[in-house]
Amino acid sequence: MHLILFFLFAGLCLAGAINLLLQSHPINSALSLIVVMTSLAVLYLLLGAEFLAIAQIIVYAGAVMVLFTFVVMLLNAGREERTLGSHAAARIGFPAVVAILAVLATVILRAQGLGAVHLGEGLTNSHGSSNLVVLSQVLFHELLLPFEVTSVLILVAILGAVALARRDDEERTAEK
């Protein structure tokens, strides 16, 4: 079941990345990047890295992509112009991709013990508790003050950005 889920979400991740490159509208590219980040979070979850998966969702697919989408919409960017690209990239790019794929194929074919790793191993520490439990105890007991100070700083930054955007909007309406 893990292998099927891995191939499903790895394919979804690759499809999202290819779609990201092929899109001409920035908002569609941002949505494709959200698909990639979410697929990566599921892959982290399959590897047993729960904290990394949740951090991937919260930080990248959540906060960073919302910020990126907000900036794209604020700039009101339209469609990008299509160009044929540079001639050097066309001459060097295709042979470079073939060489990289050949090296990767060689490494994979010569690798010993593929499939010997069992997913989900190593999730507990020497005390028998989960690494996520230990991480949360450190984060919310020993590092509680820096954690809360960081959240207050992020809140102040959001309020400052809203105030600056509002002031610029008021100035634009006053000029008209």
Could you read off the pLDDT of 118-133 as tens digits, one per residue?
A: 545 555 555 656 677 7
Residue 168, amino acid: D
Q: In this prediction, what percent of the chain has a pLDDT beyond 70?
A: 76
Which of 8-12, 80-84, 125-129 shows the lowest per-residue confidence on average (mean pLDDT)?
125-129
C-beta of residue 5 within 8 angstroms of C-beta of residue 45: no
Paired residues of 124 in beta bridges: 130
Give this prediction's pTM: 0.53
**Residue 111 identity (one-letter amino acid):** A
pLDDT number for residue 143 = 82
CA distance 7 to 104: 18
How would you class 48 by CB atoms within 10 Å of its CB: exposed for 0-12, middle for 13-18, buried for 19 or more? middle
